[in-house]
Amino acid sequence: MPLRFGVIGAGTVAETHLRAMQMLPDVRPVAVADVGLGRARALAARYGISRPAGPGAWPRGEFSRNGSPRPVALCVTACRAADWTVFFWRR
């Protein structure tokens, strides 16, 4: 069974993570979220991710499993990383 993971952020760093993850046979990205829904949709389309999301529509089910966090690649600027960490710990 593949390891499913989410990506937060849809910029250059996220693209780098996704390219690297493609080299691993049992890893599959399942969701991408970004403050810019257009960026999330574009990145999702390039990597076959079916759950792009923007503000107000975070795919919580894809970012957690049975109440436990799913692996997430946090690909945002340092000034936003703390906000995202708090967001997920409160879910």
Q: Are 47 and 18 in contact (CB under 8 A)?
A: yes
Which pLDDT belongs to residue 12? 93
Q: 20 — phi, psi (to 5°)?
A: -65, -40
For the chain, give the number of residues.
Answer: 91
Asked if residues 50 and 28 have their Cβ atoms less than 8 Å apart, the reply is no
**pTM exceeds 0.85, yes or no:** no
Q: Which fold has domain 3-89?
A: Rossmann fold (3.40.50)
Domain ranges of the chain: 3-89
For 11-68, the pLDDT digits (tens) are: 999 999 999 998 999 988 888 888 888 999 999 999 998 878 776 666 555 566 555 4
- Would you tell me how many other CB atoms lie within 10 Å of the CB of residue 83? 9
